[in-house]
Amino acid sequence: MKKQIASTFLMILIVGGIAMSVLNFSTKAYARDAIYGTTTRITSILLQSIAYNNGRHISGEYYCVDEPSTCSIVWAN
Amino acid sequence: MRKITFLSALLILTNICFSWQVKLIKTISINEDALFVSGFFAVLEDGNLLFTDIRDENNQLKVFNEDGKLIKAWGKMGPGPNEFSGLGFLDYQSPYLAVADAGRNRIHVFEKLQNYEFKKIGEFLAWELSSHIKIYEKNVLMCGYIVSPKGKEYVLFMRDFNGKETKFILPLENRFGTRSMSKQKKIREGVSGLSALAFLDVYQDTVYYVSDVRLRVAKIDLKSKKIEFIGKEPKNFRALAMNKKTRNALLNPQTGKEVEEDIMNRHSFVSGIFADKDFVGVLYVNREKKINNELFFVPHIQIYDHSGKLLHGQPLAPFFSEERFTPLFYQKDERYLYLCSIISGEDTIKYVVYKFSIEP
C-alpha cells in the first residue's frame, strides 16, 4: 500500500513537472534595468519620495534622475 | 488737445475693459494631519479635490470637500493587484483618472463611477516617466526620458490605456524651447543638477510643454506633429545658468545646501502650465516673500493666446509656497485655476489650495 502511494506521488511529480515545463510554468525572476540619469539635488519631500520609490536615491539629498549623463544605479541580482 | 485726452481716456478704458483678470475666489485649507506627503491633486466635477498621498500606507488616494474635510480615502500600499507602491503624479479628465505609481513604475487608469467609486480599467509600465502626466483621449501623455527604437531621444511621449502603443512626441533637442541639440546641451550645462521637472497640458489636439528652467513653451500638434515655440521671459524672470564651479559646489554634500539656497533666492523657475480654448497660462516663481526671516516662492502668471502673443501678466499673491513647483489643476469648463501651497510646520506639512477664476 505504502509502495503504491509513493509511486503515485512520484508519478504526479513527474507528470506535473513535464506538464509545467511544456507549458513553461516556472518562477520567473526579473532583474531591474540599470537606471542612468543625472545627479540632481532634490530637497522637496514630495519629489524626494517619488524619486526614492522610483529607486533613484544615490545618497543624502542627491538622486539619479532625468536624461543619462553623470550617474547610474545598477541593481545587484 | 481735447481729442488727445479723449482718445487716451478711451484707450485706458478699453484696456481696463478687455484686460484679463485672475481673481482669488477662495482658499481651502486641507485638514491638518489628513495628508502625510502630498501635493499633486485633481479637481472632480463637483469641486471636490482628489489627492495622492505617497507616504500613507493605508490610504494612497484621498478625496476632500471644498471645506478641506476628508470625505473618502482608499488604496493600500502593498504587493497585491489592487495595491500601490507610492502614488504621485495624477490627472483626471472625466471620467478617467490616471495615477503614476512611483514604486512600480506604472500608470494605473481608473474610470469614475458614482459616489467616488473608481473602477480600474488599465495598468501599464512607464519606466521612462519622471514628471507630470496628462490624459489625452484614451492615452496618457508623460514627461520623462525615452529612446525610440530608432535611437532618437524624447522628453515627451504617450502610451494608450492598455500600454500597447507608445508614441514619441517631443525630441530632446526641443526640451528648453531650443531648436538644436547644441543649444539644448548649452542650456543643460547651466541647469544640470537642479532641473528635474517638466510641465504639460493639452487642449484638443495641441500639447503645451515647458521645462522648469526656461520660459519657452513647446506647442505640439498631435495630429500633424508640427512643433512651434511660444513664450517670452519677462524682466523679472531670472533664468538659471550655473558655471562649472557652482555646479560642483551644488553637487558637493558639504556645500550643496548653501549653494542651492543661494540659487533659489536669485533665480526664477517655471512652476506650471495650463491651456484652454483661447489662451495658454504659464506660471513661474520667484522666492520673494519673506515671513520671519524665511523666504517663500510667489507665483506669477503669464497668459498668451495660442499664437504666442502675450495677453496678460500678474503676480498671484497672496499665494506663497515653500516648493518651487506649484501643483495645479485647471478646470477647463469652469475656468477655475487651483494651486496648492505646501508649507512645512514643526510636525506636519500644511496644504492650502487657492482657487482662482480666470476672466477675459
- Burial label for B74, CB within 10 Å (0-12, 13-18, 19+), is middle
DSSP string, B41-79: EEE-TTS-EEEEETT-SS-SEEEE-TTS-EEEEE--BSS
Quote the DSSP letter at residue B347: S
The number of residues making up chain B comes to 360
H/E segment holding residue A58: strand A57-59
Chain A residue with CA closest to B327: the answer is A46
Residue B230 lies in a domain: yes
Is B344 in Cβ contact with A40 (below 8 Å)? no
Residue B162 lies in a domain: no
Residue B150 lies in a domain: no
Torsions phi, psi of B165, nearest 5? -120, 130
Residue of B88, B60, B87 whose CA lies nearest to B75: B60
Place of cell 485647471: B330
Is B344 in Cβ contact with A45 (below 8 Å)? yes
Distance to chain B for A31, nearest Cα, Å: 13
Using one digit for the tens of pLDDT, what is the confidence trace for B114-162? 889 999 999 999 999 999 999 999 999 999 999 999 999 999 999 999 9
Using one digit for the tens of pLDDT, what is the confidence trace for B21-73? 999 999 999 999 999 999 999 999 999 999 999 999 999 999 999 999 999 99
Nearest to A53 among B39, B103, B195 (CB): B103
Using the Cβ of B269 and the Cβ atoms of chain A, whether some distance falls under 8 Å is answered with no
Residue B21 lies in a domain: no
The whole-model pTM stands at 0.89
Total domain count, chain B: 1
Using one digit for the tens of pLDDT, what is the confidence trace for B188-211? 999 999 998 999 999 999 999 999
Q: Rounded to whole angstroms, how far apart are CA atoms B299 and B326?
A: 8
Nearest to A42 among B86, B172, B196 (CB): B196
Using the Cβ of A46 and the Cβ atoms of chain B, whether some distance falls under 8 Å is answered with yes
Q: Rounded to whole angstroms, how far apart are CA atoms A53 and B122?
A: 21
Spans of all domains in chain A: 35-73
Distance to chain A for B226, nearest Cα, Å: 24
Residue B199 lies in a domain: yes
Nearest to B256 among A38, A61, A63 (CB): A61
Residues of B with Cβ-Cβ distance to A69 under 8 angstroms: 192
Cis-peptide, bond into residue B327, ω within 30° of zero: no
Pairing of strands B280-291, B217-221: unpaired
Is B130 in Cβ contact with A66 (below 8 Å)? yes
Q: Rounded to whole angstroms, how far apart are CA atoms B256 and B246?
A: 9
- How high is the mean pLDDT in each 10-residue block of chain A (77 residues)? 85 84 62 86 96 96 95 82
Residue B354 lies in a domain: no
Identify the domain containing residue B189 by its residue range.
Answer: 175-324
Place of cell 528648453: B176
Q: Rounded to whole angstroms, how far apart are CA atoms B60 and B84?
A: 7
Cis-peptide, bond into residue B318, ω within 30° of zero: yes
Q: How confident is the model at residue B248 (pLDDT cuts 50, 70, 90)?
A: very high
Residue B15 lies in a domain: no
Q: What is the dihedral of CA B53, B57, B59, B65, to 10 degrees?
A: -40
Residue B141 lies in a domain: no
Count of A-B CB contacts under 8 Å: 83
